[in-house]
């Protein structure tokens, strides 16, 4: 299958990948193209901006969370029918997952190789002149299996600065496909875990994406970028398909938390639940005073509930209904906090015997976890790959039955016949049995 595609990468974090990738998605969409947005790695926040820019679900490509073999099929599934795909990288081009043994596994370069996709390198030129060419030369020659097809210079200060940098890079044989000047507003606001999710900013987020699209359209060679994307060869894999055999019977309603407080979730998880025979219905714990009618199961993903603890606490009717709910519940990170008895002193649902609070310590990384109890989605002894991403801590009460163990960690999370709540984020495409088990438990 042939899908024109580009990977937007950088030498290091903070170089402007998200600005360029989101702006490029918006600019190409404004030209009338159907753009498929993707993000390397487990991050949830960037895909929210990508979705605003492209009008399609932002999707993650992560060899650690799913597998190497699934990266191309998942890409083809997400990009089906698109005119072009834009894939934003993670960290520096060759920076990978140490949990996978290093060697660049799950890096942007790894995913670019798996997709046979050309790379555009975004270079922060704010503190350099001709030296940017040496940097680019090093990245081009470091790994010949990664094809860097052009450079976009970011944070250029003046016409003279641009001439110096452009001339130096062109000596390496690579084209300069864009030059972005220093703009105080060429970015998105951030907080303790990174960018502020697009769903929290609503109209302001839309304006930010429009501004980035206009900036990239004015500053980059869109035709040159498209030509590079069209040079990508066909992908021989088959698209991923979440479908299971038709279930003969009623489709149980699975209520999936959303809204500003719960913005983290992988699109494929919902697709797998639908394929397994469930009817996925969203609800907003900030505003909805009851679960959707007929709810048989509840899924509460990640987000920033600590930013909305008073509002979540004030919605007492929903908290009481969740506390009394006897069907299957699956919760990740923010969902765990919502199910605790309190969050920073504010009352939550009390489904799990725990107190949650904000801390100054960031917990971040891939995990290879072993299930230590049965739950609606796991069986004791099974192994799963996930990731953690939080600045909170949970203190459990006596007698709690944990969900997981992994190297370097004690018992983590809460498991039981009808629940699993933990800090671990999981991409269900890597373990599709989780969706079928959850839908089956709901039935």
Average per-residue pLDDT for the chain: 92
pLDDT of residue 304: 84
Which of 165, 220, 333, 349 is catalytic? The answer is: 333
Q: How far is CA 152 from the centre of its chain?
A: 24
E-state strands within 221-348? 253-257, 279-283, 295-300, 329-332, 342-343, 346-347
β partners of residue 367: 386
Instruction: Say yes or no to pLDDT of 99 above 70.
Output: no
Asked if 400 contacts 354 with a C-beta cutoff of 8 angstroms, the reply is yes
Residue 396 predicted with pLDDT over 80? yes
- pLDDT one-digit tens code per residue, 280-308: 999 999 999 999 999 999 999 999 877 89
Strands 279-283 and 329-332 come out as: unpaired
Round to whole Å and give the CA distance between 71 and 123. 26
Q: Tell the residue number behind the tokens 């960031």, with chain if given.
A: 362
More confident residue, 181 or 202: 181
- CB–CB of 438/297 below 8 Å? yes
Confidence of residue 123 (pLDDT cuts 50, 70, 90): very high
Rounded mean pLDDT of 317-324? Answer: 98
Q: Which helix (H) or strand (E) holds 39?
A: strand 35-40
Report the b/e string of 181-217 with b at 16+ CB within 10 A: beeeebebeeeebebbbbbbbeeebeebbebbbebbb
**Residue from 232, 197, 255, 236 nearest 36 by CA:** 232
- DSSP class of residue 115 equals H
Token digits of residue 226: 């498209």
Whole-model pTM over 0.85: yes
Q: What is the mean pLDDT of residues 168-178?
A: 96
Closest CA to 135 of 123, 145, 153: 123
Domain 5-230 matches domain 253-442 at the CATH topology level: yes
Residues 60 and 40: their CA atoms lie apart, in Å, by 6
* Cα 79 from Cα 57, distance rounded (Å): 10
Query: Tens of pLDDT along 403-422?
Result: 999 988 778 999 998 999 99
Token duo for residue 28: 């190409």
Rounded CA separation 44/60 (Å):
8
Quote the DSSP letter at residue 328.
-
| Nearest residue to 35 (alpha-carbon basis) of 19, 48, 51, 17 | 51
Q: Coil, strand or helix: which one is 381?
A: coil
How many Cα neighbours within 13 Å face the side chain of 99? 17
State phi, psi for 430 to the nearest 5 degrees: -75, -20
DSSP-derived 3-state class of residue 105: coil
Q: Which of the four CATH numbers 1.10.10.60, 3.40.50.970, 3.40.50.2300, 3.40.50.880 does domain 253-442 have?
A: 3.40.50.880
pLDDT over threshold 50, residue 121: yes
The whole-angstrom separation of Cα 18 and Cα 74 is 21
CATH code of domain 5-230: 3.40.50.300
What per-residue confidence (pLDDT) applies to 192?
A: 40
E-assigned strand segments in 182-251: 190-191, 194-195
Confidence of residue 327 (pLDDT cuts 50, 70, 90): very high
Average pLDDT over residues 151-178: 97
**Contact assessment for residue 389 and residue 398, using Cβ atoms and an 8 Å cutoff:** no
User: Which tokens hold the place of 137?
Assistant: 């030369």
Provide the pLDDT for residue 202: 65
Task: Return the structure tokens found at 104.
Answer: 């660049």
CB 84 within 8 A of CB 229: yes
Half-sphere exposure in the Cβ direction for 223 (13 Å, CA): 0
Q: Are 89 and 14 in contact (CB under 8 A)?
A: no
> Does residue 333 carry a catalytic annotation?
yes
Domain map of the chain by residue range? 5-230, 253-442
10 Å Cβ neighbour count for 421?
Answer: 27
Phi, psi of 61 (to 5 degrees): -125, 110
């Amino acid at each position: 299958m042939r899908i024109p595609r580009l990977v937007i990468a950088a030498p290091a974090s903070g170089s402007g990948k998200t600005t360029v990738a989101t702006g490029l998605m918006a600019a190409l969409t404004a030209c009338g193209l159907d753009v498929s947005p993707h993000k390397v790695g487990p991050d949830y926040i960037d895909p929210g901006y990508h979705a605003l820019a492209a009008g399609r679900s932002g999707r993650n490509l992560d060899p650690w969370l799913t597998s190497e073999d699934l990266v191309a099929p998942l890409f083809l599934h997400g990009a089906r029918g698109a005119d072009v795909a834009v894939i934003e990288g993670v960290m520096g081009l060759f920076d990978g997952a140490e949990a996978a043994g290093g060697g660049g596994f799950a890096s942007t370069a790894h995913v670019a190789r798996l997709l046979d996709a050309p790379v555009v390198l975004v270079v922060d030129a704010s503190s350099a002149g001709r030296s940017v060419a040496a940097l680019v030369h090093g990245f081009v020659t470091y790994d010949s299996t990664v094809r860097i097809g052009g450079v976009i210079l970011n944070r250029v200060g003046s016409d003279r600065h641009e001439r110096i940098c452009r001339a130096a890079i062109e000596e390496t044989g690579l084209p300069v496909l864009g030059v972005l000047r220093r703009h105080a507003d060429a970015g998105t606001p951030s907080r303790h875990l990174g960018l502020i999710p697009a769903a929290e900013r609503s109209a302001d987020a839309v304006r930010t994406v429009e501004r980035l699209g206009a900036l990239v359209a004015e500053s980059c060679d869109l035709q040159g970028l498209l030509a590079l994307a069209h040079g990508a060869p066909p992908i021989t894999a088959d698209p991923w398909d979440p479908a299971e055999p038709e279930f003969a019977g009623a489709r149980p309603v699975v209520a999936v938390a959303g809204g500003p407080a719960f913005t983290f979730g992988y699109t494929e998880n919902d697709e797998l639940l639908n394929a397994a025979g469930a009817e996925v219905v969203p609800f907003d714990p900030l505003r909805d005073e009851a679960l959707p009618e007929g709810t048989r199961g509840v899924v509460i993903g990640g987000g920033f509930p600590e930013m909305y603890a008073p509002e979540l606490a004030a919605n007492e009717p929903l908290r009481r209904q969740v506390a009394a709910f006897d069907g299957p519940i699956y919760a990740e990170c923010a969902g765990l906090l919502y199910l605790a008895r309190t969050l920073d002193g504010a009352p939550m649902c009390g489904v799990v015997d725990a107190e949650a609070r904000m801390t100054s310590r960031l917990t971040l990384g891939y995990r290879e976890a072993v299930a230590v109890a049965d739950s609606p989605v796991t069986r004791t002894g099974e192994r799963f790959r996930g990731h953690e991403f939080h600045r909170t801590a949970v203190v459990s009460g006596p007698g709690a039955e944990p969900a997981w163990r992994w190297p370097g960690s004690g018992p983590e999370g809460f498991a039981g016949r009808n629940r699993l709540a933990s800090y671990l984020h999981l991409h269900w495409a890597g373990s599709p049995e989780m969706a079928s088990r959850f839908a089956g438990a709901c039935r």
